[in-house]
Amino acid sequence: MSELVLVRYGEIALKDRWTRSAWERILEANLAHDLREAGVSYRLSRTGGRIFVHTTDERAACVAARVFGVVSVSPAWSVSPDIASISSSAVELARAAPPGSFAIRARRSAGAISSQEIAVEVGSSVQQATGRPVDLSCPKLEIFVEARQDHAFLFQEILPGVGGLPLGSQAPMVALLSGGIDSPVAAWTMMRRGCPVSLLHFDARPYADSLSQARRCAQVLQRWASGRRINFVVVNNSRGIGLIASKNPRATCVLCRRLMYRVATEIMHREGAVGLITGYSLGQVASQTPENIMAEQVGLNAAIYHPLIGMDKTEIVDLARRIGTLEITEETKSCTAVPSKPMTKARLDVVLELEKEMDLIGLARELAEEAEVERI
């Protein structure tokens, strides 16, 4: 049974001293919350670019690996940083493992013994004590040694984490959540880059009914939020869809999206956020063309992020499955207001004229005033 979990982080270590310290504290707080939530008894410490979760609870490694900012984790044993102690522990691990070849993977961040000395001396001890053959290319057993000034840590596996930056290290944003496969993945991707999110759903009934799916996706995303509550904002957009579809059916998708951005900008300011997040993937559907995207966004007072823009559908689906939203979003039906031949190369001058003619800016303010907010 391991004594602790060694938690590694990546980009944080590249920042200046002040930023690094602040982000490490955020990461520690997020880890602490998720461990408590999972019922894990623990103690945290931090030194030399590592966070240590002191616990014998086997669940701790998997919990820590799901925290944004964690690159990898390893259940580990702590020993004195001398060859004799490291060798003795390595022999114990080798004897407890199934038979086969082995390799010692050593790394020294401090102390008088070099990583090469550790690998040679410890490897020799294991080989003599167990008779195992050495295989540095494809061993059956790998024993990792990380030597530091006061301790050495031994472990047998490196479990990948989700990576990214600690949630809360970046400014908050508003994610447009449709209930489809892409938008919750986009929200999660920006959470992974450190941004807390509010989730904005446009209720399009009777043209589309995905409110239940969107709310359930919000609940899944909240489980990744390390204790942060998420505002789930709902705006009824049926009036806007009906108006646009009656005036210019082919431009329904472009103008509806532009209206939603106008509303979302209002919501963004109220939520104290600094950007909007969409689930756009370039060319995935007829409306997501470069021309349409430009026509939808020109002149808006908001930064708009498309974290999935260069991803294909297979990559997005794989991420949705990993996050836990895929099964929910597969239930969502298409919007019936989408025209049979939607506009794919919108002309900006035409779109802006139609927006003015329908007073979509005024309508956006009205819809934003009617928004309902639920804490998740």
Say what percent of the chain tops pLDDT 90.
79
pLDDT (0 to 100) of residue 9 = 95
In angstroms, rounded to a whole number, what is the distance separating the alpha carbons of residues 126 and 291? Answer: 64
Stretch 273-277: mean pLDDT: 98
* Residue 184 near residue 217, CB atoms below 8 Å: yes
Using pLDDT thresholds of 50, 70 and 90, give the confidence band for residue 105: very high
Contacts of 226 (CB under 8 A, 6+ apart): 29, 30, 33, 34, 67, 68, 167, 168
Using pLDDT thresholds of 50, 70 and 90, give the confidence band for residue 1: low
Edge-first strand listing for the sheet containing 372-375: 304-305, 276-277, 173-176, 197-203, 231-236, 372-375
Q: How far is CA 151 from the centre of its chain?
A: 32
pLDDT (0 to 100) of residue 347 = 86
Using pLDDT thresholds of 50, 70 and 90, give the confidence band for residue 16: very high
| pLDDT value at 233 more than 90 | yes
Q: Is 150 exposed, middle or buried (0-12, 13-18, 19+ CB in 10 A)?
A: exposed
pLDDT (0 to 100) of residue 111 = 64
In angstroms, rounded to a whole number, what is the distance separating the alpha carbons of residues 249 and 80? Answer: 73
**CB-side exposure of 177: number of CA atoms within 13 Å?**
33
In angstroms, rounded to a whole number, what is the distance separating the alpha carbons of residues 195 and 248? Answer: 37
In angstroms, rounded to a whole number, what is the distance separating the alpha carbons of residues 97 and 158? Answer: 16
| pLDDT value at 343 more than 90 | no
Stretch 213-222: mean pLDDT: 97
pLDDT (0 to 100) of residue 287 = 72
The reported pTM is: 0.94
Architecture of the domain made up of 173-375: 3-Layer(aba) Sandwich (3.40)
Using pLDDT thresholds of 50, 70 and 90, give the confidence band for residue 166: very high
In angstroms, rounded to a whole number, what is the distance separating the alpha carbons of residues 122 and 125? Answer: 5
Assigned CATH topology for domain 4-160? VC0802-like (3.30.2130)
Query: Which pLDDT tens digit goes with each residue over 322-341?
Result: 999 999 998 777 787 777 77
Domain layout of the chain by residue ranges: 4-160, 173-375
Highest mean pLDDT out of 14-18, 69-73, 111-115, 207-211 = 69-73
* Residue 24 near residue 46, CB atoms below 8 Å: yes
Stretch 71-97: mean pLDDT: 96
Stretch 297-306: mean pLDDT: 92
Stretch 201-209: mean pLDDT: 92
pLDDT (0 to 100) of residue 208 = 87
From residue 290, give the alpha-carbon distance in Å to each of 254, 265, 286, 372: 12, 21, 10, 32
From residue 270, give the alpha-carbon distance in Å to each of 117, 171, 240, 264, 369: 60, 14, 21, 10, 11
Say what percent of the chain tops pLDDT 70.
99
Scored b (16 or more CB within 10 A) or e, 168-181 reads bbbebbbbbbbbbb
pLDDT (0 to 100) of residue 269 = 96
Contacts of 345 (CB under 8 A, 6+ apart): 289, 291, 292
pLDDT (0 to 100) of residue 181 = 95
What residues are paired with 50 via a beta bridge? 8, 47
In angstroms, rounded to a whole number, what is the distance separating the alpha carbons of residues 177 and 198? Answer: 10
Pairing of strands 70-79, 4-9: antiparallel
> Cis bond leading into 206, ω under 30°?
yes
Query: Which pLDDT tens digit goes with each residue over 130-139?
Result: 999 999 999 9
Cα-atom radius of gyration of the chain, to the nearest Å?
A: 26
pLDDT (0 to 100) of residue 288 = 83
Stretch 187-215: mean pLDDT: 95
Task: Please provide the average confidence, as pLDDT, over all residues in the chain.
Answer: 93
pLDDT (0 to 100) of residue 307 = 97
In angstroms, rounded to a whole number, what is the distance separating the alpha carbons of residues 339 and 327? Answer: 27
| pLDDT value at 57 more than 70 | yes
pLDDT (0 to 100) of residue 336 = 79
Query: Which pLDDT tens digit goes with each residue over 348-366?
Result: 888 889 899 999 999 999 9
3-state secondary structure of 161: coil
Nearest to 73 by CA among 85, 84, 61, 63: 61
